[in-house]
Amino acid sequence: MQLEENNIVDQFGRVHDYLRISLTERCNLRCFYCMPEEGIALRPKAEFMNTDEVIRMAETFVSLGVKKIRITGGEPLVRSDAKQILEKLSKLPVELAITTNGILIDKFFYTIKTSGIRSINVSLDSLDKEKFNSITRRNDFDKVISNINLLLDENYHVKVNAVVIKGVNENEIVNFVQWTSDKNIHVRFIEFMPFDGNKWDFSKVVSMDAILSKVRERFGEKVTRISDRKNDTSKNYSIAGFKGTFAIISSVTNPFCDTCNRLRLTADGKIKNCLFSDSETDLLSAMRRGEDIVPLIRKSVWNKKEKLGGITSFENLEKRKNRAMISIGG
Ligand code: SF4
């Protein structure tokens, strides 16, 4: 394997072949742990990648060995040219995936189908309608659930991402797992992570161990550890006899950086070599000046920290410059 030529490698030998592209900082929900209470300043459209720039960026990363592209946001499907972007990206030799809050899936169903997307992550932090409304500050619970059922009826691989926050929804962990009994759904519990404006505090984190012990308390011996895929961010489990599975993404208490293959491109065209990195490289301005962005990509990745963007401890997390989750896209 020619490591140098068409691979993006960091100084720890990790090959980066999975790109997450945030299409927008806009969203049709207002989840309190993602969108700061005061919202985020809406910036001029010109500061963001236009349709062609998204595709040119993607083509460049594919030429450097990227094999999977995940579309994120904000909420990617609120972008007016989301349909064109999905159609154009589907022409690239990559596995295409999307993370969405699920509200607009029915409106984009034909595009999702024809663009070859088979795996969809839907963000849903509560199975309780009232609580959903209080978390998202919107009233779209029924829509999200009916769109999840639409995907299941069409045999899509549906992952449900639930951010678990102490005092908010940890009392629903068992309900989410029970949901997998007769639904071929993959629930992923995500440990609450610190981003600008989300009032994160280590005491609000429900750890992987705490999540597992709640599940074991209810399902006992039936809890089975199942194999993780290469580069998986989650630790996977199932309940014997259940149709679906559940998993835990434990960035805070049990990080998984040694196999990290992920890069992020923000909607304003900056590369983040790690979810927690406090530095970014502006690819869009360079591209608009007609410069070659490949050396910038290589340099950014080479300088990637070994783990957690250089965070040494979440318990005594010093103030760090990062973005709000809404403008990273997870
Ligand atoms: S924290 Fe950074 S290095 Fe670790 S898995 Fe996430 S993106 Fe990769």
- Residues 190-214: tens digit of each pLDDT: 999 999 988 899 999 999 999 999 9
Is there a domain that residue 225 lies in?
Answer: yes
Q: Does residue 61's CB lie within 6 angstroms of at least one atom of ligand 1?
A: no
> In this structure, which amino acid lies at residue 235?
K
pLDDT of res. 190: 98
Is there a domain that residue 1 lies in?
Answer: no
Closest C-alpha to ligand 1, atom 6: 275
pLDDT of res. 267: 98
Ligand 1: distance of its center to the CA of 140 in Å? 31
Count of domains for the chain: 1
Ligand 1: distance of its center to the CA of 274 in Å? 5
Ligand 1: distance of its center to the CA of 255 in Å? 8
pLDDT of res. 62: 98
pLDDT of res. 1: 44
Closest C-alpha to ligand 1, atom 7: 274
Is there a domain that residue 162 lies in?
Answer: yes
Q: Does residue 151's CB lie within 6 angstroms of at least one atom of ligand 1?
A: no
Its pTM stands at 0.95
Ligand 1: distance of its center to the CA of 192 in Å? 14
- The range of the structural domain enclosing residue 87 comes to 8-327
pLDDT of res. 136: 94
Q: 232, 234, 262, 317: which to mutate for ligand 1, most atoms within 8 A of CB?
A: 262
pLDDT of res. 167: 96
Ligand 1: distance of its center to the CA of 330 in Å? 11
pLDDT of res. 5: 57
Is there a domain that residue 155 lies in?
Answer: yes
pLDDT of res. 222: 97
Q: Does residue 36's CB lie within 6 angstroms of at least one atom of ligand 1?
A: no
Q: Does residue 260's CB lie within 6 angstroms of at least one atom of ligand 1?
A: yes
Q: Does residue 252's CB lie within 6 angstroms of at least one atom of ligand 1?
A: no
Is there a domain that residue 175 lies in?
Answer: yes
Ligand 1: distance of its center to the CA of 156 in Å? 27
**CATH number for the domain harbouring residue 291:** 3.20.20.70
Is there a domain that residue 68 lies in?
Answer: yes
**Is the preceding peptide bond at 39 cis, omega within 30 degrees of 0?**
no
Low-confidence ranges of the chain (pLDDT < 70): 1-5, 37, 39, 318
Is there a domain that residue 209 lies in?
Answer: yes
Is there a domain that residue 3 lies in?
Answer: no
Q: Which two tokens stand for residue 52?
A: 């062609």
